Amino acid sequence: GSCLFYGEWHRRRPPGIPQEEEFKLMFGMLFSLRSFVAKMSPTDMRDGFVSFHTSKYRLHYLETPTGLRLVLNTDLAVPSAREALQHIYS
């Protein structure tokens, strides 16, 4: 996959790797996570996963019917950005 748009607001520390490498790592993580969720889910996951969080951030994810993937990283105070991602896509 390739990154069509990247924006950054209030990032507390630089990634320490080239931006293209960061994009590749994100793509690989999302690919692996989607595969893991599909295999572990007891039911058919129509939307796959929509978010996950660590102790530091929350990643919000939307995959469109055309295969476009929208990713938004936020702090933990944001419970869901699903509607925002759908609005961006529309």
Question: What residue ranges in 1-90 does DSSP mark as E strands?
Answer: 51-53, 58-63, 69-74
Which residue, among 87, 67, 34, has the nearest Cα to 26 in the 3D structure?
34
Assigned domain for 6 exists? no
The CATH number of residue 36's host domain is 3.30.450.70
Contact criterion met (CB below 8 Å) for 49 and 34 = yes
**4 assigned to some structural domain:** no
68 is in which domain, residue-wise? 19-89
Note whether residue 9 is domain-resident: no
Residue 28 inside a domain? The answer is yes
Higher pLDDT, 9 or 24: 24
Is 84 part of a structural domain of the chain? yes
- Token look-up 């609005």 returns 87
Task: Establish if 24 belongs to a structural domain.
Answer: yes
Domain count, the chain: 1
Q: pLDDT for 50-82, tens place per residue?
A: 899 999 999 999 999 898 999 999 999 999 999
CA 76 to chain CA centroid, Å, is 14
Please state the pTM of the whole predicted model. 0.85
pLDDT at 48: 74
